[in-house]
Amino acid sequence: MNPNPGAVTTSDMLFLEAAIELAEAGRMSCAPNPTVGCIITRSGDIIGRGFHRRAGEAHAEVEAIADAGGDVAGATVYVSLEPCSFEGRTPACAQTLIDHAVSRVVVGTVDPNPRVAGAGVNMLQQAGVRVDVVDLPSAARSIAGFAKRMGTGLPWVRLKSAASLDGALALASGESKWLTGTLARQDVQYWRARSDAILTGVGTLIEDDPQLNVRAPDLLAQGVKQPLRVLLDSRLRAPADRKMLGDGAPTLVVHDAEVAAPEGGPPDDPLQYLALADGTRDLRSILAHLGGLGCNEVLVEGGSSLLGSFVEQGLWDEWVHYLAPKLLGSDSLNMVQLNVPLLSSAPNVQIADACPLGPDLRLTLVREEDNV
């Protein structure tokens, strides 16, 4: 893809990494679009910066051109994701860059959207603009959810759990609400804010009555869109007085087709029902439905049954696990409901990161393909 191998310098890489970092500024607001950051330089000096804030609004390249005062002729453009090649709600960015006579574009990763997929690079090259596609892992990682949805129709699935040192989610009594400290709970707010949907099971709804929303003032100040709450409740046994069902924010209750949903409210009712022919055990269908709604990332905040189902069905991509320095003893709820007859069939996960958060430890786990 890159017609100029070896032509990418260390300062190119630094500007590109800075563009990828800048893309994060749109993380909480740009879905269903991917995050994109753009930095424009002339003679080694930054003259413009931009990121994609919201679907339907200006793309990162357009923001950066405006930030540069409009004159970017002869400049170099560093963009985390390939410029788009088609006119949607905004004009094609590849054409905009050509019209502004930039001389070079350095791309972090090719757009996995089949409507682009290299066409933006081709457009630029055919217009005589030099393009370097670097294929940076950090650029690919920054759009992992979007890329997965484009490739499979399914969102990126991030499991979340908090357990004691001895691997318990809760006491048998159900008392578990504040297993971790303040920092870990604040961290969960971040993962919620970047998610398009949050899934939970009816067991958690009954025991904990969670709100599963974003409440951190700093995140709300950034204009975070509240994720869609998704409740898996095959037989519709959730008590009607639970917060998630009555707080006026969007909630989707997924149930088995044999069970009739209550009489429908108006089409814009925040509480919606989805009947699945194969039942709520069919997590792939639920994820496909969410992918169809444009969800790039979903967070699973269920109890041990739902966590077990995701592990069993091999439908997770990343796992954020908080380890609290407590012991809940043998009369407690095991973290994952899973039948593991042999050590050789035990699912393996890899620890990708370990980060202390006050008294707790956050582990970021990724799949080890063989056994999960």
Residues that bind ligand NAP (CB under 6 A): 161-162, 169-170, 174, 176, 179, 200-204, 207-208, 232-235, 237, 280-281, 283, 301-306, 309, 333
| Nearest distance in Å: CB 325, ligand NAP | 14
- 67 versus 312: smaller Cβ distance to ligand NAP: 312
52 phi, psi to nearest 5 deg: -85, 115
Q: Please report the DSSP string for 69-87 in residue order.
A: TS--TT-EEEEEEPPP-S-
- 174 versus 250: smaller Cβ distance to ligand NAP: 174
| Nearest distance in Å: CB 132, ligand NAP | 44
| Nearest distance in Å: CB 232, ligand NAP | 4
Cβ atoms 272, 289 nearer than 8 A: no
Q: Which tokens sit at 149?
A: 């949805």
Q: Please report the DSSP string for 274-341 in residue order.
A: EEETT-TT-HHHHHHHHHHTT-SEEEE---HHHHHHHHHTT--SEEEEEEES----SSEEESS-----
Helices 10-23 and 60-67 sit at what angle, rounded to 10 degrees? 110
Alpha helices, DSSP H, located in 75-210: 93-99, 119-126, 137-142, 144-152, 182-193, 202-208
- 76 versus 304: smaller Cβ distance to ligand NAP: 304
Cβ atoms 305, 340 nearer than 8 A: no
Helix, coil or strand: residue 235: coil
Residue 151, classified by CB atoms within 10 Å of its CB into exposed (0-12), middle (13-18) or buried (19+), is exposed
Cβ atoms 33, 147 nearer than 8 A: no
- If we measure between CA atoms, which residue out of 243, 184, 237, 164 comes closest to residue 208? 243
| Nearest distance in Å: CB 335, ligand NAP | 8
Could you give the angle at the alpha carbon of 107 between the alpha carbons of 104 and 113, nearest 5°? 130
- 12 versus 209: smaller Cβ distance to ligand NAP: 209
- 63 versus 301: smaller Cβ distance to ligand NAP: 301
Active-site entry in 17, 24, 57, 61: 61
Helix, coil or strand: residue 19: helix
d(CA 160, CA 335): 11
- 39 versus 232: smaller Cβ distance to ligand NAP: 232
Cβ atoms 276, 173 nearer than 8 A: no
Neighbouring C-beta atoms of residue 200, cutoff 10 Å: 22
Q: Which amino acid, 143?
A: I
- If we measure between CA atoms, which residue out of 125, 21, 164 comes closest to residue 79? 21
- 97 versus 162: smaller Cβ distance to ligand NAP: 162
| Nearest distance in Å: CB 179, ligand NAP | 5
- Is 61 one of the annotated active-site residues of the chain? yes
| Nearest distance in Å: CB 112, ligand NAP | 28
- 43 versus 330: smaller Cβ distance to ligand NAP: 330
Residues with a known catalytic role: 61
